[in-house]
Structure 1
Amino acid sequence: MASTQENDDKKPETTITLKSSDGEVFEVPESAAVLSYTIKNMVEDGREGDVISLEQVDGKTLSWVVAYLKKRAVDPFSEKDKDEFDTEFFSDKDVNSLFDIGNAANYLNIKELLDMSITKIVNLRRM
Protein backbone atom coordinates (compact mmCIF):
# COMPACT_ATOMS: atom_id res chain seq x y z
CA MET A 1 0.00 0.00 0.00
CA ALA A 2 1.37 3.41 -0.89
CA SER A 3 0.70 6.43 1.24
CA THR A 4 2.31 9.80 1.68
CA GLN A 5 4.40 11.25 4.49
CA GLU A 6 5.76 14.76 4.75
CA ASN A 7 9.51 15.17 4.71
CA ASP A 8 11.53 18.14 6.04
CA ASP A 9 10.64 20.26 2.99
CA LYS A 10 6.92 19.63 3.63
CA LYS A 11 6.59 17.80 0.32
CA PRO A 12 4.61 14.62 0.63
CA GLU A 13 6.74 11.53 0.12
CA THR A 14 5.16 8.32 -1.04
CA THR A 15 5.63 5.33 1.22
CA ILE A 16 5.57 1.69 0.25
CA THR A 17 4.09 -0.95 2.54
CA LEU A 18 6.14 -4.14 2.80
CA LYS A 19 4.94 -7.29 4.53
CA SER A 20 7.32 -9.99 5.72
CA SER A 21 6.75 -13.73 5.57
CA ASP A 22 5.68 -13.73 9.22
CA GLY A 23 3.23 -10.86 8.79
CA GLU A 24 5.23 -7.88 10.03
CA VAL A 25 4.38 -4.71 8.13
CA PHE A 26 6.84 -1.92 7.35
CA GLU A 27 6.10 1.53 5.93
CA VAL A 28 9.14 2.53 3.89
CA PRO A 29 9.75 5.79 2.01
CA GLU A 30 9.60 5.04 -1.70
CA SER A 31 13.03 6.65 -2.15
CA ALA A 32 14.47 3.94 0.12
CA ALA A 33 12.31 1.02 -1.04
CA VAL A 34 13.25 1.41 -4.71
CA LEU A 35 16.92 0.89 -3.89
CA SER A 36 15.78 -2.72 -4.13
CA TYR A 37 15.42 -3.50 -7.82
CA THR A 38 12.83 -6.17 -7.00
CA ILE A 39 10.63 -3.65 -5.20
CA LYS A 40 11.33 -0.99 -7.83
CA ASN A 41 10.09 -3.35 -10.55
CA MET A 42 6.96 -4.15 -8.53
CA VAL A 43 6.24 -0.43 -8.10
CA GLU A 44 6.82 0.23 -11.80
CA ASP A 45 4.47 -2.66 -12.62
CA GLY A 46 1.70 -0.91 -10.71
CA ARG A 47 1.93 -2.70 -7.36
CA GLU A 48 2.64 0.53 -5.48
CA GLY A 49 -0.94 0.81 -4.22
CA ASP A 50 -0.79 -2.68 -2.74
CA VAL A 51 0.94 -4.18 0.22
CA ILE A 52 4.02 -5.84 -1.20
CA SER A 53 4.37 -9.28 0.36
CA LEU A 54 7.91 -10.55 0.62
CA GLU A 55 7.34 -14.23 1.35
CA GLN A 56 11.04 -15.07 1.36
CA VAL A 57 12.04 -12.55 4.04
CA ASP A 58 11.12 -12.82 7.73
CA GLY A 59 10.31 -9.78 9.86
CA LYS A 60 13.59 -9.61 11.76
CA THR A 61 15.62 -9.72 8.56
CA LEU A 62 13.31 -7.29 6.78
CA SER A 63 13.70 -4.83 9.67
CA TRP A 64 17.47 -4.88 9.10
CA VAL A 65 17.05 -4.49 5.35
CA VAL A 66 14.62 -1.59 5.81
CA ALA A 67 17.04 0.15 8.21
CA TYR A 68 19.82 -0.31 5.67
CA LEU A 69 17.72 1.05 2.78
CA LYS A 70 16.51 4.05 4.79
CA LYS A 71 20.06 5.00 5.72
CA ARG A 72 21.36 4.47 2.19
CA ALA A 73 18.59 6.65 0.75
CA VAL A 74 19.86 9.66 2.72
CA ASP A 75 21.40 12.27 0.45
CA PRO A 76 24.17 13.37 0.65
CA PHE A 77 25.90 10.30 1.98
CA SER A 78 29.68 10.41 1.64
CA GLU A 79 31.86 7.34 1.13
CA LYS A 80 33.26 7.81 4.65
CA ASP A 81 29.71 7.89 6.05
CA LYS A 82 28.81 4.76 4.04
CA ASP A 83 31.86 2.91 5.34
CA GLU A 84 31.13 3.93 8.94
CA PHE A 85 27.49 2.94 8.61
CA ASP A 86 28.38 -0.43 7.05
CA THR A 87 30.84 -1.16 9.86
CA GLU A 88 28.26 -0.28 12.50
CA PHE A 89 25.40 -2.04 10.69
CA PHE A 90 27.21 -5.37 10.47
CA SER A 91 29.08 -5.20 13.80
CA ASP A 92 26.47 -7.00 15.91
CA LYS A 93 25.36 -9.61 13.36
CA ASP A 94 26.27 -13.27 13.77
CA VAL A 95 26.96 -15.52 10.80
CA ASN A 96 23.36 -16.79 10.63
CA SER A 97 22.04 -13.22 10.55
CA LEU A 98 24.55 -12.38 7.82
CA PHE A 99 23.28 -15.32 5.75
CA ASP A 100 19.69 -14.16 6.28
CA ILE A 101 20.60 -10.62 5.21
CA GLY A 102 22.53 -11.95 2.22
CA ASN A 103 19.61 -14.12 1.12
CA ALA A 104 17.19 -11.21 1.50
CA ALA A 105 19.54 -8.90 -0.41
CA ASN A 106 19.80 -11.46 -3.19
CA TYR A 107 16.00 -11.92 -3.37
CA LEU A 108 15.42 -8.16 -3.24
CA ASN A 109 18.26 -7.45 -5.67
CA ILE A 110 20.21 -5.03 -3.45
CA LYS A 111 23.73 -5.49 -4.78
CA GLU A 112 25.64 -3.41 -2.21
CA LEU A 113 23.98 -5.15 0.72
CA LEU A 114 24.56 -8.56 -0.83
CA ASP A 115 28.23 -7.78 -1.51
CA MET A 116 28.77 -6.47 2.02
CA SER A 117 27.08 -9.45 3.68
CA ILE A 118 29.17 -11.89 1.62
CA THR A 119 32.34 -10.00 2.50
CA LYS A 120 31.47 -10.11 6.20
CA ILE A 121 30.70 -13.83 6.05
CA VAL A 122 34.02 -14.55 4.33
CA ASN A 123 35.88 -12.46 6.91
CA LEU A 124 34.17 -14.29 9.79
CA ARG A 125 35.02 -17.68 8.26
CA ARG A 126 38.71 -16.70 8.03
CA MET A 127 38.92 -16.10 11.79
Structure 2
Amino acid sequence: MSKKITLKSSDGISFQVDEAVALMSPRIKRMIEDDRTGNGITIPNVNSAALAKVIEYCKKHVEANADDTELKAWDLDFARALEGLDKDTFFAVTSAAHFLNIGGLFDLTCKTVAEMVRGKTVDQIRDIFHIKNDYTDAEEAKMRKENAWAFE
Protein backbone atom coordinates (compact mmCIF):
# COMPACT_ATOMS: atom_id res chain seq x y z
CA MET A 1 0.00 0.00 0.00
CA SER A 2 1.37 3.36 -1.03
CA LYS A 3 1.88 6.15 1.48
CA LYS A 4 -0.62 9.00 1.07
CA ILE A 5 0.27 12.69 1.16
CA THR A 6 -2.28 15.45 1.67
CA LEU A 7 -1.82 18.49 -0.53
CA LYS A 8 -3.77 21.62 0.36
CA SER A 9 -4.54 24.29 -2.20
CA SER A 10 -4.29 27.99 -1.42
CA ASP A 11 -8.10 28.12 -1.24
CA GLY A 12 -8.19 25.41 1.43
CA ILE A 13 -9.16 22.31 -0.57
CA SER A 14 -7.31 19.11 0.37
CA PHE A 15 -6.26 16.38 -2.05
CA GLN A 16 -4.95 12.98 -0.93
CA VAL A 17 -2.42 11.60 -3.39
CA ASP A 18 0.01 8.71 -3.48
CA GLU A 19 3.48 9.74 -2.38
CA ALA A 20 4.84 8.90 -5.85
CA VAL A 21 2.48 11.47 -7.37
CA ALA A 22 3.58 14.14 -4.88
CA LEU A 23 7.23 13.32 -5.56
CA MET A 24 6.83 14.44 -9.18
CA SER A 25 7.39 17.92 -7.74
CA PRO A 26 10.95 18.54 -6.52
CA ARG A 27 9.58 21.29 -4.25
CA ILE A 28 7.15 18.90 -2.55
CA LYS A 29 9.82 16.20 -2.45
CA ARG A 30 12.06 18.52 -0.38
CA MET A 31 9.19 19.19 2.02
CA ILE A 32 8.62 15.46 2.43
CA GLU A 33 12.35 14.86 2.98
CA ASP A 34 12.40 17.65 5.57
CA ASP A 35 9.42 15.90 7.21
CA ARG A 36 7.18 18.95 7.00
CA THR A 37 4.09 16.95 6.10
CA GLY A 38 2.41 16.56 9.49
CA ASN A 39 -0.91 18.21 8.65
CA GLY A 40 -0.44 18.01 4.93
CA ILE A 41 1.45 20.28 2.61
CA THR A 42 -0.07 23.65 1.84
CA ILE A 43 0.75 24.81 -1.65
CA PRO A 44 0.67 28.62 -1.58
CA ASN A 45 -0.44 30.48 -4.70
CA VAL A 46 -1.94 27.32 -6.26
CA ASN A 47 -5.74 27.21 -6.22
CA SER A 48 -7.76 24.00 -6.16
CA ALA A 49 -8.67 24.07 -9.86
CA ALA A 50 -5.01 24.32 -10.86
CA LEU A 51 -3.85 21.80 -8.25
CA ALA A 52 -6.42 19.28 -9.48
CA LYS A 53 -5.00 19.55 -13.02
CA VAL A 54 -1.42 19.29 -11.75
CA ILE A 55 -2.35 16.15 -9.80
CA GLU A 56 -4.11 14.68 -12.85
CA TYR A 57 -0.95 15.21 -14.93
CA CYS A 58 1.39 13.81 -12.28
CA LYS A 59 -0.83 10.81 -11.59
CA LYS A 60 -0.92 9.87 -15.27
CA HIS A 61 2.85 10.21 -15.56
CA VAL A 62 3.43 8.05 -12.48
CA GLU A 63 0.99 5.38 -13.63
CA ALA A 64 2.08 5.38 -17.28
CA ASN A 65 3.68 2.32 -18.71
CA ALA A 66 6.97 2.57 -20.53
CA ASP A 67 4.97 3.30 -23.70
CA ASP A 68 6.13 6.80 -24.60
CA THR A 69 3.81 6.96 -27.60
CA GLU A 70 0.72 6.49 -25.44
CA LEU A 71 1.91 9.07 -22.89
CA LYS A 72 2.70 11.61 -25.62
CA ALA A 73 -0.79 11.14 -27.05
CA TRP A 74 -2.26 11.61 -23.57
CA ASP A 75 -0.17 14.78 -23.10
CA LEU A 76 -1.54 16.18 -26.37
CA ASP A 77 -5.11 15.46 -25.26
CA PHE A 78 -4.38 16.97 -21.84
CA ALA A 79 -2.93 20.12 -23.47
CA ARG A 80 -6.04 20.46 -25.65
CA ALA A 81 -8.24 20.12 -22.57
CA LEU A 82 -6.19 22.78 -20.78
CA GLU A 83 -6.53 25.08 -23.77
CA GLY A 84 -10.29 24.71 -23.47
CA LEU A 85 -10.29 25.95 -19.88
CA ASP A 86 -10.85 29.58 -19.03
CA LYS A 87 -7.61 31.52 -19.38
CA ASP A 88 -7.29 32.21 -15.64
CA THR A 89 -7.31 28.50 -14.85
CA PHE A 90 -5.00 27.70 -17.75
CA PHE A 91 -2.42 30.21 -16.56
CA ALA A 92 -2.88 29.10 -12.95
CA VAL A 93 -1.88 25.58 -14.06
CA THR A 94 1.16 27.02 -15.87
CA SER A 95 2.16 29.01 -12.78
CA ALA A 96 1.62 25.99 -10.54
CA ALA A 97 3.81 23.81 -12.78
CA HIS A 98 6.54 26.45 -12.59
CA PHE A 99 6.19 26.95 -8.82
CA LEU A 100 6.24 23.19 -8.16
CA ASN A 101 9.09 22.72 -10.65
CA ILE A 102 7.26 20.09 -12.70
CA GLY A 103 9.26 20.58 -15.88
CA GLY A 104 7.23 18.35 -18.18
CA LEU A 105 3.96 20.07 -17.32
CA PHE A 106 5.50 23.52 -17.49
CA ASP A 107 6.96 22.75 -20.94
CA LEU A 108 3.61 21.37 -22.08
CA THR A 109 1.69 24.47 -21.00
CA CYS A 110 4.29 26.80 -22.54
CA LYS A 111 4.13 24.90 -25.84
CA THR A 112 0.35 25.21 -25.70
CA VAL A 113 0.64 29.00 -25.32
CA ALA A 114 3.07 29.10 -28.25
CA GLU A 115 0.57 27.18 -30.40
CA MET A 116 -2.23 29.50 -29.32
CA VAL A 117 -0.36 32.57 -30.61
CA ARG A 118 1.44 31.09 -33.62
CA GLY A 119 0.56 33.06 -36.74
CA LYS A 120 -1.74 35.46 -34.90
CA THR A 121 -1.72 39.23 -35.23
CA VAL A 122 -1.17 41.47 -32.24
CA ASP A 123 -4.89 42.23 -32.11
CA GLN A 124 -5.79 38.52 -32.24
CA ILE A 125 -3.38 37.80 -29.39
CA ARG A 126 -4.91 40.61 -27.37
CA ASP A 127 -8.34 39.07 -27.96
CA ILE A 128 -7.17 35.58 -26.95
CA PHE A 129 -5.69 36.81 -23.67
CA HIS A 130 -8.13 39.66 -23.03
CA ILE A 131 -5.35 42.26 -23.13
CA LYS A 132 -6.45 45.85 -23.43
CA ASN A 133 -4.40 48.00 -25.80
CA ASP A 134 -3.30 50.86 -23.57
CA TYR A 135 -1.48 52.76 -26.33
CA THR A 136 -3.09 55.87 -27.75
CA ASP A 137 -3.40 55.91 -31.54
CA ALA A 138 -0.47 58.35 -31.71
CA GLU A 139 1.72 56.20 -29.45
CA GLU A 140 0.92 53.08 -31.44
CA ALA A 141 1.68 54.81 -34.76
CA LYS A 142 5.01 56.05 -33.39
CA MET A 143 5.94 52.61 -32.06
CA ARG A 144 5.02 50.95 -35.37
CA LYS A 145 7.11 53.49 -37.27
CA GLU A 146 10.14 53.05 -35.00
CA ASN A 147 9.87 49.26 -35.18
CA ALA A 148 8.60 48.81 -38.74
CA TRP A 149 10.82 45.75 -39.20
CA ALA A 150 8.71 43.86 -36.64
CA PHE A 151 5.51 44.41 -38.60
CA GLU A 152 6.74 43.24 -42.01
TM-score normalized by structure 1? 0.85
Cα displacement (A) at 1:49: 3.1
Structure that is richer in helix per residue: 2
RMSD: 1.4
Identity of aligned residues (%): 33
Structure 2, unpaired ranges of 5+:
121-152
* One-letter identity of the residue aligned with 1:69: C
* Cα pair distance change 1:75/1:123, threshold 3 Å: closer
User: Residue 33 of structure 2 aligns with which residue?
Assistant: 44
User: Residue 109 of structure 2 aligns with which residue?
Assistant: 117
Q: Matched residue of 1:73: which SS? A: helix
Q: Is the 8 A contact 1:42 1:48 kept in 2?
A: yes
TM-score normalized by structure 2? 0.72
* Count of residue pairs brought into register by the alignment: 116
Q: Matched residue of 1:17: which SS? A: strand
User: Residue 140 of structure 2 aligns with which residue?
Assistant: none
Q: Distance in 2 between matches of 1:75 and 1:89?
A: 14
- Structure number with higher relative contact order (C-alpha < 8 Å, ≥ 6 residues apart): 1
Q: Distance in 1 between matches of 2:66 and 2:25?
A: 18
Cα displacement (A) at 1:93: 2.2
Work out whether 1:64 is the aligned partner of 2:56. Answer: no
Structure that is richer in strand per residue: 1
Q: Distance in 2 between matches of 1:111 and 1:41?
A: 16
Cα displacement (A) at 1:67: 0.6
Q: Is the 8 A contact 2:9 2:42 kept in 1?
A: yes
Q: Distance in 1 between matches of 2:64 and 2:97?
A: 21
Q: Distance in 1 between matches of 2:39 and 2:14?
A: 12
Q: Distance in 2 between matches of 1:104 and 1:73?
A: 18
After superposition, where does 1:1-80 map in structure 2 within 5 Å?
A: 12-80=1-69
* One-letter identity of the residue aligned with 1:58: N
Cα displacement (A) at 1:98: 3.0
Cα displacement (A) at 1:84: 1.1
Larger radius of gyration between Structure 1 and Structure 2:
2
Q: Matched residue of 1:27: which SS? A: strand
Runs of 4+ in 1 over 6 A off after TM superposition: none
Aligned counterpart for 1:102 among listed residues 88, 94, 97: 94
* One-letter identity of the residue aligned with 1:31: A
Structure 1, unpaired ranges of 5+:
1-11
Bigger shift: residues 83-92 or 62-71: 83-92
